[in-house]
Amino acid sequence: ELGVIEGFIEVELADRRTYQAFARRAPAFARGTMRDLANASGAAARRLMTAYYLITGNCYRPAVASGRISIDSWCPALRERYHAAACGAMNYLRAADGTTDPCLSRLLAELGEDEYRRADQLLALLERGMRQ
């Protein structure tokens, strides 16, 4: 289960970084939502790192991310992020069902539902972006 938690932490931190990049390049109507999504991914990573500490007694040391995040076109980028969020939600819920630890199961289920809400926010931005 530690490998699963570590993977989720790294994904959330990568998502945070991606949403921060999106916030810098997004149309004005979407910047606030992108910042909110970045903050939500950061909060999810912190919750997972706390779970990691509770299980192991050690602080998790995330990988150092580097490289530039490119966003070529707004709607295709949102489409890609929507699919990533929906898949991430499904992965959280699958992991919640697969663990025997009731506290970890609850945390993963909550994070899965949060990820579905982020997917909904991305879908709303995509709908608005396609109207413009």
Q: Which of 8, 7, 4 is nearest to 111 (CA)?
A: 8
Mean pLDDT of 67-79: 86
- State what percent of residues in the chain have pLDDT above 90: 86
DSSP notation for 46-101: HHHHHHHHHHHSS---PPPP-S------HHHHHHHHHHHHHHHHHHHHHHHHH-S-
- pLDDT tens profile 21-45: 999 999 999 999 999 999 999 999 9
Q: What is the pTM of this model?
A: 0.92
Q: Which of 33, 23, 11, 34 is nearest to 88 (CA)?
A: 11
Is pLDDT at 69 greater than 90 in this prediction?
no
